[in-house]
Amino acid sequence: MKYTFVASARAELREAVEFYNGRRSGLGEELSEEVRRTISRILQNPASWKRLSENTHQCRLDRFPYFLIYQRKPDRIRIVAVAHFRQRPGYWRNRLNP
């Protein structure tokens, strides 16, 4: 199975990586690697993670305070947000495809 990012989610990840690299050299790359591992877990069993709606789920990263919000599609996983725990809940809902 494949995965895609919506543009806003990719931008969120890029901003978070830059933020963490500014805190400590290489920390942003560690976040990026954590996201890759989380995506691998999602791809192995997409229905396992917390269900937000019929096809929308969230999966928490292990080390960093973020969730990946994603939609299950027949041929792929669509990542709609890289959401920090402290961001306003549901801000990403307008990114969902029916």
Q: Could you state, in order of their start, the residue ranges of all structural domains in the chain?
A: 2-87
Q: Looking at the domain covering 2-87, what would its CATH class be? A: alpha beta
Q: The pTM is what?
A: 0.92
In sequence order, the 6+-apart residues with CB closer than 8 A to the CB of 26 are: none
Which tokens sit at 3?
A: 């995965």
Distances (CA, A) of 88 to 36, 53, 85, 91, 93: 24, 18, 8, 6, 11
15-34 per-position pLDDT tens digit: 999 999 999 999 999 999 99
Distance CA 2, CA 20 (A): 27
Q: What is residue 8's predicted lDDT score, i.e. its pLDDT?
A: 96
DSSP state for residue 52 in the 8-state scheme: S
52-72 per-position pLDDT tens digit: 999 999 999 999 999 999 999
